[in-house]
Structure formats: C-alpha cells, structure tokens
Amino acid sequence: MKKRYQRLAAAALAGMMITGLVSGCGSSSSGSSATEKGTDPAAAAQTTEAGGETTAPDTAAGDSKPASNGGKEVTLWHYFEHEAPILEKMVEEYNSMQSDINIVCTYISREELMKQYTIGAVSGELPDIGMVDSPDMASYISLGVFEDITDQMKDWKDLEQFYPGPLSSCKDADGNIYGIPNNSNCLAIAYNADMLKAAGFDKAPETWDEFEEVCAKTTNAADGVYGFAMSAIGTEEGTFQFIPWLYSAGADVASTDSPEAARALDYLAGLVNKGYMSKEVVNWSQSDSYNAFCAGKAAMLESGTWQLAQFDEGIKGAFEYKIALLPKDKKFASVIGGENFGVCAGSEAKEACVTFLKWMTSAKNNAAWCEGAGKFPVREDSVALNTTWSDDERFAVFSDEMNYAVARGPHESWPTISEALYTAEQSALLGNKTGEEAMKEAAAVINPILQETPIAVQE
C-alpha cells in the first residue's frame, strides 16, 4: 500500500522539487564542474523538453565510450568530477571480468542529475544505476526512483561491516534497502601556512574569535586576497558548508529559530560585511572556492576530504598548506557527506546491477576507491586494509573531525529543508536580511515538516 501511495504522489512531489531545483541552479556559478573537466556544460547534461517529453542526458562531450564486452548495456549516471577517472577505471575492470552487462558511465552535473531523477520518477526515463547525495536518497526513495533491493542484500554478510550512519541513508522508514553507500567525508579547514605565518600566526585558529582575527590580518583587498573562502551557493553544497557553523553555535536543523542559529548566520555575514570573505561566495560551488584558495586568493578554505586528492595538483608547490579542525564557537562541529548508488526503478538488469554494486563496495575495492578519491570508506574492514587514514597527517585531522560531524537527515523532505537553509544563508550574506530574520523564515518552512516527521536519531 505504501509503494502504491508513493507512485501516486510522485507527480505532485516532482513538480514541487523541480521548482526548487531550478531555483537552486539559477544561483550557480557559470564556472562549474563540467568546464573543469574540459567539457561543454551543455553537452555534459543535455536535456530536451518538448511537449512534456524528456530525453536522457548524453555522455559528456569529449568522453570516449569504452569498447563493449558484448553484455547488455547498463547505464550509470554520476556527478563525480575529479574522481571520474577512478570510477571509470573500476567500471572498465568490472566489464573485463564478465560479459553479462556492459556498464557505461555518464557524467552529469549534480543539479541536472537531481532534476533528471525527479522528472524520471514520472516519465520513467532513468538510468540503470544512479548516484545520489546521501541526504537526498530518502526523498528519491519516496518518489519511487530507486528499486527495493532488500531481497538481494539479505544474505550478503558484508553488510555487517558497513558503518550504521552511511548505511541508514540507503533505507526507508521501514528499514528496506534501496542502495549501497559508496563513500563518506566531512569538512575541515585548509589553510595557507605561508600566508598565516607572514601574518604572525604559527597555527590555525581554534575559536571563532581567533578565526576572525586571522581573517582580518590575512585579507589584502588591494591584491584581491580574502581571509576565508567557502561555498554559499544556492544548492545542497551551500547547506553542506553552512551546517557546521549552525551546530558549532549550539543550534541544529530543528532549532533554526533560535538565537544560536541567528548568531551563526550573522557571524558569516559579518565576514562578508567586513571584507574578509568575498560576496561572490553566494555563487561559488565548492570547486570554485577551492580554485580561489589554490590560486592564493584566500588564506583559509572550508574544505572537504575529497580535495586532498586535488590540492597538490591545484597548488603546484606555490605554498605550504595544512588541514585543521573547523573553528568552534560553543563546540567543534562538522558535517558528514558522501554518496550512495542505487538500482533505478524499471531497470531490466536489477540483479546484475546489485552484483556490480556489491563488487564495487567490497572491502578491498572500497578501500582502494576511497584512497584514490580522497574519501573515507563506508566499511570498517576497509579502513583496516590501508594505513592512509591514520598515517597521513591531513587525513588524521579529518579523521578527528569525523568525531564532531553530524548527518544531514536522512529525511524524505531533505531537499525542502536544505532549500530553506541555503536560502536563509544567501539572504543574510547578501545583506537582505539579518540572521534572525532569515533563520525565522527558514524555521517557518522546516518546523512544520519536522513536527510531522522528525529526523530519526542515529545510534
């Protein structure tokens, strides 16, 4: 009965979600991920909507389609950027091992991919395997985008090795499984050690007061150098980077109308108002803020685990960089990220797709994938296979940061909750509203949702 209701509700929910996705995309920077791969953004996720019909996105321009192994073609959609070559290499290895299916990877920008899932829930135009940001999976499960694979997973003993947090994001409220977690990550601070030293600091700031002091002394308006760079874009990336500040101030998603929540937003807005952070952060993706840091235009960066695999190439030895915990107000805080893969509704290769996902997230493969991509494994036994996460001092900081990281959801209305948060953040950073005004507007959206369906407490 529940699944029937989900299908009937899909069309209505899709309309609402498309509206939110389109408004979110409108704030995105034109210098986005597809151009960083050397491809045309339009070709990377080409959609034709005419008379209500939608064509699935084509492979990004410049990508070469690997030779087929003769198996049934299976489509895999993802929004990995720098990690794409590692994913494609794994897929090529799997294709060479068997001939039941031939998996073809297609890169699509995150915003476009989420829109395609929402449209596909109604049109049926979905890939065989789809990637999704972990906090968003519950909403797409409710739309009927992903297949229930509980039966295919029930005898897989490896599930016992998965960390509860990432695995829970693949389940519905009844505990049924719709996907397999691929990686986990969190946020910390990357800082230009040379720039801080020149300003008289021999270590990273630990508190908000110290952080603002470092921002002030490392900002050089004449050279276009800011003390801090982050992503405050009108998408999930903006919410992702805002949440640590919200929780550090003593608030959370369920208390956005509190003085603590207002303080968090006013603090970030103050960095912009004082010139310590560019107003352009409302248009910057995480890749854009990363680029500014690597170019020496920001002394500190709110950085994700995955960027460890990119820093050396981006900085090119121009300066020494280090990783530190995000500064604290009342407490240290961070946020958990990561992606899941699921078999999409209507796939004619459901069993074979599940077999591939199990192979991809075996202990050995999950360890190898996460090391190469600069992420944390989702399996305890994968961590034990590699000393990277303990021996590399950069990873060691992120490992410590994971102790303070909170989850986003899971909640079937997370896209709506997230939109309320990033909308509030943007309105305050642009000077349109005070932190209190912006967060009360967010609370007017979020509180009724959580009163009806609270976010489950994770053990």
Q: Are residues 263 and 393 in the same domain?
A: no
Closest among 179, 163, 135 to 360, alpha carbons compared: 179
Q: Which range (6-15, 185-194, 348-357) has the least confidence?
A: 6-15
Confidence of residue 405 (pLDDT cuts 50, 70, 90): very high
> Residue 3 domain-assigned?
no
Whether residue 410 is preceded by a cis peptide bond, meaning omega within 30 degrees of 0, is yes
> Residue 34 domain-assigned?
no
Q: What is the pLDDT of residues 415-441, one digit of tens each?
A: 999 999 999 999 999 999 999 999 999
Q: Are residues 198 and 296 in the same domain?
A: yes
Q: Rounded distance, CA 109 to CA 39, Å?
A: 11
Q: Are residues 78 and 141 in the same domain?
A: yes
Confidence of residue 241 (pLDDT cuts 50, 70, 90): very high
> Residue 257 domain-assigned?
yes
Q: Which of 402, 422, 439 is the last residue of a domain?
A: 402
Q: Are residues 151 and 101 in the same domain?
A: yes
Mean pLDDT, residues 28-55 = 31
> Residue 382 domain-assigned?
yes
Confidence of residue 4 (pLDDT cuts 50, 70, 90): very low
The DSSP 8-state label assigned to residue 183 in this structure reads: -
Percent of residues, the chain, with pLDDT higher than 70: 85
Q: Are residues 223 and 176 in the same domain?
A: no
Q: Rounded distance, CA 108 to CA 116, Å?
A: 10
- Collapsed DSSP state (helix, strand, coil) of residue 129: strand
Closest among 270, 292, 339, 271 to 114, alpha carbons compared: 339
pLDDT for 259 equals 98
Assess whether pLDDT exceeds 50 at residue 39.
no
Backbone angles phi, psi at 78, to 5 degrees: -150, 165
Q: Are residues 210 and 348 in the same domain?
A: no
Backbone angles phi, psi at 87, to 5 degrees: -60, -45
Q: Are residues 328 and 373 in the same domain?
A: no
Q: What is the pLDDT of residues 365-394, one digit of tens each?
A: 999 999 999 899 999 999 989 888 888 999
Q: Is 378 exposed, middle or buried (0-12, 13-18, 19+ CB in 10 A)?
A: buried
pLDDT for 457 equals 59
Backbone angles phi, psi at 77, to 5 degrees: -100, 140
Q: Are residues 292 and 436 in the same domain?
A: yes
Q: What is the pLDDT of residues 441-459, one digit of tens each?
A: 999 999 999 999 998 655 4
Q: Which two tokens stand for residue 406?
A: 């909170």
Range of the domain at 257: 185-332+408-450
Q: Are residues 101 and 164 in the same domain?
A: yes
> Residue 252 domain-assigned?
yes
> Residue 38 domain-assigned?
no
Q: Are residues 155 and 203 in the same domain?
A: no
Q: What is the pLDDT of residues 174-229, one digit of tens each?
A: 899 999 999 999 999 999 999 999 999 999 999 999 999 999 999 999 999 999 99
pLDDT for 159 equals 96
Q: Which two tokens stand for residue 381?
A: 């036994």
Assess whether pLDDT exceeds 60 at residue 37.
no
| Element of type H or E holding 376 | none
> Residue 213 domain-assigned?
yes
Residue in the block written with tokens 């949702």? 449
Q: Are residues 104 and 165 in the same domain?
A: yes
Confidence of residue 264 (pLDDT cuts 50, 70, 90): very high
Task: Name the domain count of the chain.
Answer: 2
Mean pLDDT, residues 92-113 = 96
Assess whether pLDDT exceeds 50 at residue 42.
no
Count the Cβ atoms, other than its own, within 10 Å of residue 248. 24
Confidence of residue 93 (pLDDT cuts 50, 70, 90): very high
Please give the mean pLDDT across all residues of the chain: 87
Assess whether pLDDT exceeds 50 at residue 7.
no
Closest among 253, 244, 204, 256 to 227, alpha carbons compared: 204
- The residue count of the chain comes to 459
pLDDT for 8 equals 35
> Residue 20 domain-assigned?
no
Percent of residues, the chain, with pLDDT higher than 90: 78
Confidence of residue 67 (pLDDT cuts 50, 70, 90): confident
pLDDT for 26 equals 29
Q: Which of 381, 402, 423 is the last residue of a domain?
A: 402
Q: Are residues 433 and 373 in the same domain?
A: no
CATH of the domain at 242: 3.40.190.10
Instruction: Work out the end-to-end distance of the chain between its first and last CA atoms, rounded to an integer number of angstroms.
Output: 29
pLDDT for 458 equals 53
Contacts of 209 (CB under 8 A, 6+ apart): none
